[in-house]
Structure 1
Amino acid sequence: MTPQFGHFRAESGAGPLRAPMARWMIALVVLLFFSAPALARTAPDSFAELAERLLPSVVNISTTQTAEGQSGIEVPVVPPGSPFEDFFKEFFERNQPRQRQRRATSLGSGFVIDARGYVITNNHVIQDADEISVILQDESRIEAKVIGRDPKTDIAVLKVEPSDKLKPVRFGDSDVARVGDWVVAIGNPFGFGGSVTAGIISARGRDINAGPYDDFLQTDAAINRGNSGGPIFNLQGEVIGIATAIFSPSGGSIGIGFAIPANSARPVIEQLIKHGAVRRGWLGVRIQSVTDEIADTLGLKGVSGALVASVIDNGPAKKADIRAGDVILEFDGKPIDQMRKLPRIVAETEVGKAVDVKVWRGNKPVTVKVTVAALEETEEVAAATTRAPNETPKASIPGVGLAVAALNDRLRSDYGLDEDAKGLVVTGIDAGGPAAEQGIKPGDLIVEVSQEPVTTPDQMAAKVTAARESGKKSILLLIEGDAGLRFVALRLAAN
């Protein structure tokens, strides 16, 4: 209906001074009329129409796995060399029944994304399954095969050959979903297929330690066992998440569920359909968070970014001259406001793509060009060394609560250090000092102080003194310990 504003003119009087006021009031009413729906998103009266439209696209996943069971008969234990030993052995080998097999069944959820029969679910729903069946809304059961799966993001793609055309759903933009937006979850909780629940997005960007690329949406829509792999819809009927996990002391829903965002899932799904596997980008750095103390020592405003603790030889970062001590602020135009965002952004970058990386170095931003390489799916094995006691005389560093010594053959032997180890070895810690607060231990190596290599206690003492005299509250150390390289902003106590 077109809004009518003629009464303003009728009531405004005939005088020319009233005309501007009338026009201003008309403009105000027009603004309020058209902007009001955007200011507040009201709850729907019912989710019935949405559920009716989406239910045919959501499927139940049934898997079976064959497991070996015990026969229940054990050979009696007899003394070695006993005349009964051979008798019992021969008897039981001849009469031992075959091990019983049992079939373990599990249930999950999924949804159709393509009329050709592609179905999405969680990897943990179908992992180790011998048989996988997709059950449609009409209770028809179709055998499914695995097209590809990705344990790191817990996503799997299945393919079915239906007799009738399937009704797919489309993905939405999970990045525009806001905390407080309504969502609808449909799935197969506890085997009760076609269950619909509603709630809101409770939080974004949750890290639940499920994998290296955690970025979950949190919702209070009821999610229970069997919902895994099912879709989370917005009110437009678009999939903005894949239900994956719940937090629950009892095993049932307490209103804390987690879903993989659609924008994180889509590139993984596309690669699984196209290649059967996922190729991820790789930068070749080890990183850590930027703390207030580290930001202060580097002259960086705020604690955003990812601090490069070490650079892997022959990796993309090394070739682009990214250095330990750099703080990565942007990657391919995307701001790194939190350290844990960097691995996910790099992983989603196309392999072979040359991107700009902005780093903080020497109290100013520097941009370098990096060509992203492919992440190899090999595990790095790090041998932990046992730190042995040491009786080498300690060179105490005033104000930081530790003692150090220059490396020699005896210290390398005492602390299990490699022949090519560099820096100063920590030989003593003041239990109540700044070094102890940062978890520094005897046997750790101090490789750099204020981003410069150190090899003697006098060098370190001089840098600590210089930092204190310049008014700094902390000093930056590069420490190598059992967990690898890391930067530590060490508080400078009173001399």
Structure 2
Amino acid sequence: MKKIITLVLVSALGGIFTLGAYKLFIQDNKPVVVTADTSPAFLPTSNLNTLLKTGEAPDFVSAAENTVNAVVHVKNVTMSSGQMSFQDFFYGRSSPKAQVGTGSGVIINADGYIITNNHVINNAQELSVTLNNNKTYKAELVGADPKTDIALLKIEADEDLPFVTFADSDTAKVGEWVLAVGNPFNLTSTVTAGIISAKSRDLSGTSAQSFIQTDAAVNPGNSGGALVNTNGELVGINTAITSQTGSYIGYSFAVPSNIARKVVEDIMEYGNVQNGILGIQGGALNSDIAERIGVSDTEGVYVDSVVEDSGADKAGLQKGDIIKEIDDIKVSKFSDLTGHLSAKRPNDVVNLKLSRDGKIKTVAVTLAKNETITMPLVGRIKNAKATDLKKYRAENGVKIIQLNEEYEEYWKNNGVTQGCIITAINGVKINSVDDVQRVLKNKSLYESLKIELINEQGEKERYNFR
């Protein structure tokens, strides 16, 4: 045992002497200095500490408090018989059953007007609204606009209600903090935070939409809820998500508050939405399109044609013009233009900054009422002037201004060209494009389309499409 202890002590002493010799004779004698690094080479990816130190953190608490009591839970009851089953063929269709859908809404004044999405209340037989204080009221549908997916409800409360004020969504900036407030998965008063990721997003591919994109978490049930800035002001109405699972995966979309506000004001004042039309057809520029049409600009909206008698026509816009700005708002894509125009009415004036032959000019355009629509099978039609009707000896009708490309050869073979007059649809006398829209809207899915028109020879023709 004594030999083992002696061996361990000798080994330890040998190691100490060896290490000491290395330190003394071999290793460089470098002093160790401790300093405060005022300019680190690497910074943390989170700026939370910096925000907290400088006091610049957004006040989410204040914004949430200003919003949660003005966001409501909307319940939609519809009656449905469901799909035909095998048993239905033997025992007859079953009785309609109530189906309940839910969403969110935003109180916009103390009198109980509530804005929500059209798809939240679509086909409802019964609507009810539950406030954040758990009081429930029956709701009346004042009006809706499927195009913008906005609807207006009204409840009769026994007290003034808390409400959210509108912000100017045109001034909202990419990167700005926003809160989404709603009722996802039937959970009441849920607040999530994010930033504005992009503006003027078009999900349809037809340049008919102009959404605010955000990364605030939005899930089923959030539809119709509020997107607010850090002041608690309404920036948008949460409407859609893009997801393969049906739930939030990073992107959500809201109707800008300027569009939503204009829609509900029109519904309250006119009973329907008043659309101001610029009167051009064209598309957004990029490198490929610019090269194809022979221009140097790669940003803006290229004017391919100008609608006759429209505001653009009267203001002198021409084929080949490139719209760079509208009311000092940069136009990079077509949805920038349509998004701004969606908040305008007939007779409103917009200022366009154009590039024409390499020169910049500003033009004021008075928006007109929509007098042109695209009619199925036929093409673009517009309200006919007295001179148009006189040319074809017609007493009434609308004018064909562009034939449907798919059926153009068929129409021309039958003597129907641009300028011909449609006088009746499904037996209803037509005087305007509003009449056409009304007939098409009331036509059942299985009903044939009967068109009466005067061709280029001045002959009355009838067509029946099934």
Q: 1:415 to 1:350 in 2, by over 3 A?
A: closer
Give the whole-Å Cα distance in 2 for the aligned partners of 1:216 and 1:414: 34
Which residue identity is paired with 1:43?
Answer: A
8 Å Cα contact 1:186-1:197 kept in structure 2: yes
Alignment map for 1:139-150 (pairs within 5 Å): 139-150=134-145
- The corresponding residue for 2:244 is 249
1:349 to 333, 344, 347: 344
1:161 to 156, 159, 164: 156
Matched pairs, number: 338
Q: 1:380 to 1:329 in 2, by over 3 A?
A: farther
Which residue identity is paired with 1:218?
Answer: Q
TM-score, structure 1 as length reference: 0.60
CA RMSD of aligned residues (A): 3.4
Which residue identity is paired with 1:42?
Answer: E
Give the whole-Å Cα distance in 1 for the aligned partners of 2:335 and 2:378: 25
- Unmatched runs of 5 consecutive residues or more in structure 2: 1-49, 380-406, 419-466
- The corresponding residue for 2:14 is none
Q: 1:272 to 1:293 in 2, by over 3 A?
A: same
Q: 1:107 to 1:420 in 2, by over 3 A?
A: closer
Which one is further off, 189-198 or 315-324?
A: 315-324
Alignment map for 1:276-425 (pairs within 5 Å): 276-292=271-287, 295=290, 301-332=296-327, 334-376=329-371, 378-383=373-378, 418=412
8 Å Cα contact 1:152-1:211 kept in structure 2: no
Q: What SS does the corresponding residue of 1:340 show, helix, strand or coil?
A: helix
> Do residues 42 (structure 1) and 37 (structure 2) align?
no
Deviations 1:81-133 (A, max 9, x none): xxxxxxxxxxxxxxx66641111110000111100011111111011111111
8 Å Cα contact 1:329-1:358 kept in structure 2: yes
Give the whole-Å Cα distance in 1 for the aligned partners of 2:328 and 2:114: 33
How far the C-alpha of 1:230 sits from its partner, in A, is 0.5
**Quick one: percent identity of the two aligned structures?**
38
1:56 to 69, 77, 91: 69
8 Å Cα contact 2:186-2:221 kept in structure 1: yes
Alignment map for 1:476-495 (pairs within 5 Å): none
- The corresponding residue for 1:199 is 194
- The corresponding residue for 2:456 is none
- The corresponding residue for 1:123 is 118
Which residue identity is paired with 2:237?
Answer: I
Q: 1:75 to 1:112 in 2, by over 3 A?
A: closer
Give the whole-Å Cα distance in 2 for the aligned partners of 1:75 and 1:414: 44
How far the C-alpha of 1:188 sits from its partner, in A, is 1.0
Q: 1:348 to 1:175 in 2, by over 3 A?
A: closer
How far the C-alpha of 1:194 sits from its partner, in A, is 1.6
Deviations 1:294-347 (A, max 9, x none): 546877553222112223334333344433222233445544333332223334
Q: 1:41 to 1:325 in 2, by over 3 A?
A: farther
- The corresponding residue for 1:65 is 78
Which residue identity is paired with 2:76?
Answer: T
8 Å Cα contact 1:304-1:339 kept in structure 2: no
Alignment map for 1:62-141 (pairs within 5 Å): 62-69=75-82, 73=87, 99-141=94-136
How far the C-alpha of 1:273 sits from its partner, in A, is 2.3
Give the whole-Å Cα distance in 2 for the aligned partners of 1:49 and 1:353: 36
Give the whole-Å Cα distance in 1 for the aligned partners of 2:93 and 2:332: 60
How far the C-alpha of 1:415 sits from its partner, in A, is 6.4
How far the C-alpha of 1:367 sits from its partner, in A, is 5.0
Give the whole-Å Cα distance in 1 for the aligned partners of 2:372 and 2:333: 25
Give the whole-Å Cα distance in 2 for the aligned partners of 1:331 and 1:172: 20
- Unmatched runs of 5 consecutive residues or more in structure 1: 1-35, 77-95, 385-412, 423-495
- The corresponding residue for 2:229 is 234
Give the whole-Å Cα distance in 1 for the aligned partners of 2:85 and 2:336: 51
Which residue identity is paired with 1:252?
Answer: S
Q: What SS does the corresponding residue of 1:114 show, helix, strand or coil?
A: coil
Give the whole-Å Cα distance in 2 for the aligned partners of 1:241 and 1:131: 26
Give the whole-Å Cα distance in 1 for the aligned partners of 2:301 and 2:330: 10
Q: What SS does the corresponding residue of 2:375 show, helix, strand or coil?
A: coil
Which residue identity is paired with 1:215?
Answer: S
How far the C-alpha of 1:253 sits from its partner, in A, is 1.6
8 Å Cα contact 1:43-1:182 kept in structure 2: no
Give the whole-Å Cα distance in 1 for the aligned partners of 2:231 and 2:71: 16
